[in-house]
């Protein structure tokens, strides 16, 4: 149906509907554009697209666990990202363990914590499966690695004519030999500039800390000990502090375990034997303890008896009812010893008198023998007559059987040859 065939009322309603759809499409488009712009803005802010990025680099022995785009952390906060990971040339690796070059950027304001002394780039473990991360440490001394203040390199004569000279700072360390004569960030003055000129310097590096810019203006040169103008091709190098990768540490751990395993098995065997011996010893000790239990009971009873007020070892060995008897026995023994001592004295006296009498008898006998010389002849005759009497009894028929000798086998008669001279033995052929 053609539009002109519609009634005026329908054409009016259709025009209103078209305008409403148009406004709706326009509003939706504006909302979409606004949301997309907000998304881009938040993403840019989150990734630091509007912040100053300070470029740094460091080295590592291995690039395992690191990837381009990984976060760089400082004090636990995300401070930047890794922008490049590449291997160093072969000849470089033969002189140092820094085999991998790692470039990264640090966002504003975190690069302000990185100084020329004390700041390190640590490659540490992060989670499992060998993942690693790059952590930065705060500086402890030295100078800021980057500047966003006004920085100039001017002749000494021009520096003396700078407006408000006292607000400017020195941008380098000046040495006399190994001694630091002038330190960076020292306020400028005619005297300081005179010292700079006296050190043979024609140009001086100066910083205006009161004026800041939205870009990097200078970078610190560790070798030359001064700030120099920043260009995009320059990066500040942080000393590396790398923890060995998990795989390398696992390999080392496995090697140590393999080396220690024989000793560990030997130790377990020794422990087994020690435990076995200990079990046997405890069983033997149990038997000994059971055997010693009666003795311990008796010792307990003895100790309890010794604790009694009237108890003592002597009274335990000798009861109280035996004390009177022992006293009587000891008194009787003492009396007996006394009597025995007396009797022995008397007996010794009697024995002495008996010996004196015996000595008198023997003396008298000796005197009689000496006075009667025929007494020995008479004694000898008496002995001879006694022998004759006994021999006569042996031949008497009544007493002959009493003196009969026992019968024994008579030995064979031995033929005794007459003695002959050696000459006779020779003549007989012997």
DSSP string, 294-312: HHHHHHHHHHHHHHSTT--
Other residues' Cβ atoms within 10 Å of the Cβ of residue 172:
26
Closest by Cα among 116, 21, 123 to 70: 123
The Cα angle at residue 129 between residues 127 and 131, in degrees rounded to 5: 55
With cut-offs at 50, 70 and 90, classify the pLDDT of residue 430. very low
Q: Which residues of 128-154 are buried (b: 16+ CB within 10 A; e: fewer)?
A: eeeebbbbbbebeebbbbbbbbbbbbe
- 17 φ, ψ (degrees, to nearest 5): -65, -40
Bigger pLDDT: 145 vs 347: 145
174-188, 261-275, 391-405 — most confident range: 174-188
The fold of the 149-212 domain, in CATH, is Molybdopterin biosynthesis moea protein, domain 2 (3.90.105)
> What single-letter DSSP state applies at residue 172?
B
Radius of gyration of the chain (CA): 68
* pLDDT single digits (tens) 198-216: 998 999 999 999 988 889 9
Q: Which residues contact 45 (CB under 8 A, 6 or more apart)?
A: none
Q: What is the pLDDT of residue 212?
A: 87
With a cut of 50, say whether residue 57 has pLDDT above it. yes
87, 46 in Cβ contact below 8 A?
no
6-15, 209-218, 244-253, 344-353 — most confident range: 209-218
HSE (side-chain half, CA atoms, 13 Å) at 418? 3
Q: What is the pLDDT of residue 367?
A: 76
Q: What is the pLDDT of residue 245?
A: 59
Residues facing residue 172 across a β-bridge? 226
Bigger pLDDT: 306 vs 109: 109
Q: Which residues of 72-102 are buried (b: 16+ CB within 10 A; e: fewer)?
A: bbbeeeebbbbbebeeeeeeeeeeeebbbbb
User: Would the pTM count as exceeding 0.85?
Assistant: no
Alpha helices per DSSP H over 102-184 = 156-160
Q: For the ranges 15-29, 51-65, 206-220, 243-257, which has the lowest average pLDDT? A: 243-257
Q: What is the pLDDT of residue 171?
A: 94
- In whole angstroms, give the CA distance from residue 236 to residue 239: 10
Q: What is the mean pLDDT of residues 37-55?
A: 83
With a cut of 80, say whether residue 134 has pLDDT above it. yes
Other residues' Cβ atoms within 10 Å of the Cβ of residue 11:
13
Write down the mean pLDDT value for the chain.
80
92, 53 in Cβ contact below 8 A?
no
Q: Which residues contact 374 (CB under 8 A, 6 or more apart)?
A: none
Q: Which residues contact 238 (CB under 8 A, 6 or more apart)?
A: 56, 57, 58, 114, 119, 120, 121, 136
- In whole angstroms, give the CA distance from residue 29 to residue 7: 33
- In whole angstroms, give the CA distance from residue 378 to residue 324: 71
**What are the sequence ranges of the domains in the chain?**
7-47, 53-141, 149-212, 247-305, 318-373
Q: How far apart are the first and last CA of the chain?
A: 192
Q: Which residues contact 305 (CB under 8 A, 6 or more apart)?
A: 311, 316
């Amino acid at each position: 149906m053609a539009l002109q065939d519609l009634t005026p009322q329908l054409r009016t309603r259709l025009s209103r509907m078209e305008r409403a759809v148009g406004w709706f499409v326009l509003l939706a488009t504006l909302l979409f554009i606004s949301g997309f712009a907000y998304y881009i803005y938040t993403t840019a802010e989150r990734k630091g697209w509007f912040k100053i990025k300070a470029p740094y680099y460091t080295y590592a022995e291995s690039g395992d666990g690191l990837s381009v785009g990984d976060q760089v952390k400082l004090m636990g906060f995300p401070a930047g990202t890794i922008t490049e990971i590449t291997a160093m040339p072969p000849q470089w690796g033969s002189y140092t363990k820094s085999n991998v070059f790692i470039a990264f950027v640090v966002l504003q304001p975190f690069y302000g914590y990185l100084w020329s002394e004390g700041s390190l780039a640590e490659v540490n473990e992060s989670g499992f499966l060998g993942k690693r991360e790059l952590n930065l440490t705060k500086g402890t001394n030295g100078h800021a690695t980057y500047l966003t203040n006004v920085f100039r390199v001017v002749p000494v004569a021009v520096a003396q004519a700078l407006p408000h000279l006292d607000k400017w700072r020195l941008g380098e360390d000046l040495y006399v030999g190994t001694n630091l004569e002038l330190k960076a960030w020292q306020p400028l003055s005619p005297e300081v500039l005179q010292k700079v000129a006296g050190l043979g310097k024609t140009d001086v590096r100066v910083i205006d800390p009161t004026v800041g810019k939205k870009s990097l203006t200078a970078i610190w040169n560790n070798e030359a000990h001064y700030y120099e103008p920043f260009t995009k091709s320059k990066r500040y190098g942080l000393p590396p502090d790398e923890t060995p990768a998990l795989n390398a540490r696992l390999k080392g751990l496995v090697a140590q375990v393999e080396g220690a395993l024989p000793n560990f098995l030997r130790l377990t065997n020794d422990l087994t034997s020690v435990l076995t011996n200990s079990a046997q010893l405890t069983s033997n000790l149990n038997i000994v303890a059971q055997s010693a239990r009666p003795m311990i009971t008796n010792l307990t009873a003895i100790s309890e008896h010794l604790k009694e007020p009237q108890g003592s070892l002597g009274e335990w060995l000798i009861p109280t009812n035996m004390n009177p008897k022992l006293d009587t026995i000891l008194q009787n023994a003492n009396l007996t010893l006394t009597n025995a001592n007396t009797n022995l004295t008397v007996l010794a006296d009697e024995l002495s008198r008996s010996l004196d009498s015996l000595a008198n008898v023997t003396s008298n006998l000796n005197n009689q023998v000496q006075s009667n010389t025929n007494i020995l002849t008479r004694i000898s005759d008496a002995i001879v007559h006694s022998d004759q009497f006994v021999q006569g009894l042996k031949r008497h028929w009544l007493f002959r059987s009493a003196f009969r000798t026992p019968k024994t086998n008579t030995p064979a008669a031995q033929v005794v040859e007459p003695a002959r001279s050696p000459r006779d033995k020779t003549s007989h052929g012997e």
